[in-house]
Structure 1
Amino acid sequence: MLIIHLGAMGSVVRSSALLRKIKSEDSSSFVIWLTSSSVKSILEGHSAIDRLITLDFEGLLKLKNYFFDRVFVVDKSQEAVGVLGFLKYNELYGFVANPKNGAILPASKESEEIWELGIDNHKKFFVNKKSELQLIFESFGFTYQREDYWIELTSSEIKSSKLRKEAWLKMNHKKIILGINTGCSHIIPYKKLTVEKHLDLIKEISQNFPYLQIVLLGGREDLERNNAIKNSIKDVIQSDNLSGLRDGMISVNACDIVISGDSLGMHLGIAFKKFTIAWFGPTCEQEIDLFDLGVKIKTTLDCAPCWKRSCSQEKMCYDHVELEHFIKAVEKGISFFEPTRDRLLESNI
């Protein structure tokens, strides 16, 4: 069978839960995952993926060698559905394109609900109560039983996580690692707090929980932001922003608690079973399942959610997220975590 999911990164991490369902129904199933080159490293070496193929000319040639029992198209994009013209398959789930105008359409009756949410903001924002994972599973004809994410680290990466955590704890003689993912995708830039808001948050956390070691998480695009925060608060540790996605995954796995907007950092926190504190502004909190291992914090702004890529509001989503809610969430995370402080980092598998 073939899974077509090209991006975004956080969404691909979430869709890894499909592998649990597929393998639970047929452990011998041969699974090919088609994705984009920018996302490929997240899934490399996964034990449940038999072939990981990137969307390029060579990748399309490789796909022509197979006949697929089932094809699952996760992305609602012309690139993803355009691949179907190169394939031989029996059953199709997810999305197709209207051959007359290229419009994305549901491939089957099961996919109609998730498709409708993409064109009806009222249903998406206020009526729907299902998580995105449940919607995806049901659109593919699966019964959703809260299968969680399935992202794997190699044995050497797990070892690196342990060593990194030990080094971070020793730096300032702390007890628990709290990672703050400071950035998000450029597509919806309002899913991250401002530098100033991060500074206020870190100061509040440090005053209330002096035994926590705060680590700044993020990618290359977050380097300037993290430098500004680090230069203002010396006891904060800045993780490596320049060593690539897999190294960033190691850093997230070295944390005990993760604070993040609705972004890749949040999804990795969920995947690695960290106590995840996720704040939501322009996006829909009901679409995310923390699997009883975290807290959601919502903006109080009336116009949220909106999913807008640009905004002219004088006061933004992040201006209406209360710091006291973060403090209460961190306290809950600590109370959850402390009885099992010595659990192994391998729990992410």
Structure 2
Amino acid sequence: MGDVLRTTSILPGLHEAHPASDITWLVAQGAEDLVRLQPLVDRVVKVDLDSPESLASVSADLGRTKWEWIISLDEEENLCRLASTLTTERLTGAQLARRDDGSECASYTPDSAGWFDMGLTSHHGKEEADRLKRENSQSHANIFARMLGIAEGQPSLRIPGEAYQASQVWGARHGLDGSVTIIGVNTGASGRWKTKGLDEERTIELIEFLHRELEGDVKFVLLGGPAEAERNGRIMEAFTEGGGSDAIVLDAGTDNDQLTFAAFVSRCDLLITSDTLAMHMAIARSIPLVAFFAPTSAVEIDIYGLGEKVISTADDYCSYRPDADNSTITVERLGRAALRTLP
């Protein structure tokens, strides 16, 4: 999901370079809300990647158009096949290729090597791809702008009125009236890289640290998705009556739809976040943030002057190992960065 949102950085540059063009964006089912309100996107097409019927339907739909330019950014073989079978004057990015034995494999066009050389389909093998990723000094937005020959842009996200309203009603119920600082805490990490996130103990200590430093003039909003439900529940126990703390921590829930979740993020004066969708939402909404990185690349993320990055100093930083050491992401480092970033 985060990849979809951060890729919206290419839209202003594409529009500037090709002002008369219509842009159709193909997204996996479940990510359409992240682009459907984009004013520079003329049509959003969603596909269920697990459904052959959906893939066939989308292929037939898109196959009725002769495209001027297909920008193919997903390395999944079925999407590479789709990009390769459509009629287009120009293809940039992931495509299907044939090995010497005649079998098919995911590949990419030469003009997109700056990005895909660091990926799973790298022509140079995994070891070289990992080395290039570790040594990379360019952000995702910069790499894509150079790859496409356009001006570099910033991601953006539109939020509809009903999502704003839901967050406003929730905020009013919990006294978020602008009289105190609101800090969002999104320190979980589901999926492939568990050590993208901060453990529960450090999350609790971080909230306590900021509560003390700000002399109680702050409310915290605990954020997360369905995978963080039990984790966030345990964190909340430390801040309920009898939990031993007088910090005010509000649970925003873990079952919000994407745009309501983005509206919660947008209510924050500061977001402290792991390298997850919430981080990309804060960047796209220009919300001050502190983001921390251990297994994944901090360089790849441009936060556009909105805050600070706290980066692991362990030897396996940016190794993309699921168990990468994040012990140097300390409460002190995160807390001091947050205090410096607060408006």
TM-score normalised by the shorter chain: which range applies? 0.7 to 0.9
- Alignment of 1:207 with 2:196, yes or no, is no
Question: How big is the alpha-carbon RMSD for the aligned residues of Structure 1 and Structure 2?
Answer: 2.0
- Alignment of 1:115 with 2:81, yes or no, is no
* In structure 1, C-alpha distance between the alignment counterparts of 2:172 and 2:338, rounded to whole Å: 21
Matched residue of 1:45: which SS? coil
Residues 257, 169 of structure 1: alpha-carbon distance in 2 compared, 3 angstrom cutoff: farther
Residue 153 (structure 1) aligns with: 159
Percent pairwise identity? 21
1:147-198 alpha-carbon deviations (Å, 9 max, x no partner)? 1102111234344445544544448x95121101132231222211111121
Residues 22, 163 of structure 1: alpha-carbon distance in 2 compared, 3 angstrom cutoff: farther
Residues 293, 154 of structure 1: alpha-carbon distance in 2 compared, 3 angstrom cutoff: same
What amino acid maps onto 2:118 in structure 1?
Answer: L
Residues 220, 279 of structure 1: alpha-carbon distance in 2 compared, 3 angstrom cutoff: same
* In structure 1, C-alpha distance between the alignment counterparts of 2:190 and 2:69, rounded to whole Å: 31
Structure 2 contact 167–260 (Cα < 8 Å) conserved: no
* In structure 1, C-alpha distance between the alignment counterparts of 2:176 and 2:285, rounded to whole Å: 22
Count of residue pairs the alignment pairs up: 317
Residue 271 (structure 1) aligns with: 284
Structure 1 contact 169–213 (Cα < 8 Å) conserved: no
1:76-120 alpha-carbon deviations (Å, 9 max, x no partner)? 331321212441111111122222343333313x21222222342
- Alignment of 1:301 with 2:305, yes or no, is no
Structure 2 contact 317–325 (Cα < 8 Å) conserved: yes
Residue 217 (structure 1) aligns with: 223
| Superposition TM-score, scaled by structure 2 size | 0.86
* In structure 2, C-alpha distance between the alignment counterparts of 1:186 and 1:205, rounded to whole Å: 28
* In structure 2, C-alpha distance between the alignment counterparts of 1:106 and 1:64, rounded to whole Å: 20
* In structure 2, C-alpha distance between the alignment counterparts of 1:217 and 1:187, rounded to whole Å: 19
Structure 1 contact 273–293 (Cα < 8 Å) conserved: yes
| C-alpha displacement of 1:28 | 3.5
Residue 19 (structure 1) aligns with: 11
- Alignment of 1:79 with 2:78, yes or no, is yes
- Equivalences for 1:276-287 in 2 at 5 Å? 276-287=289-300
* In structure 2, C-alpha distance between the alignment counterparts of 1:328 and 1:286, rounded to whole Å: 21
- Alignment of 1:251 with 2:264, yes or no, is yes
5+ residue gaps in structure 2? 48-53, 120-125, 241-247
Structure 1 contact 182–225 (Cα < 8 Å) conserved: no
* In structure 2, C-alpha distance between the alignment counterparts of 1:212 and 1:79, rounded to whole Å: 48
Residue 102 (structure 1) aligns with: 104
Matched residue of 2:22: which SS? coil
Residue 275 (structure 2) aligns with: 262
* In structure 2, C-alpha distance between the alignment counterparts of 1:122 and 1:276, rounded to whole Å: 28
Structure 1 contact 219–242 (Cα < 8 Å) conserved: yes
Residue 244 (structure 2) aligns with: none
1:216-258 alpha-carbon deviations (Å, 9 max, x no partner)? 1111111111111111113210002113222211111111211
* In structure 2, C-alpha distance between the alignment counterparts of 1:169 and 1:257, rounded to whole Å: 17
Structure 2 contact 17–150 (Cα < 8 Å) conserved: no
Residue 344 (structure 1) aligns with: none
Structure 1 contact 260–279 (Cα < 8 Å) conserved: yes
Matched residue of 2:67: which SS? strand
Structure 1 contact 165–177 (Cα < 8 Å) conserved: no
1:253-311 alpha-carbon deviations (Å, 9 max, x no partner)? 111211111111111111111111000000111100000111000112112121123x3
Structure showing the higher helix proportion among its residues: 1
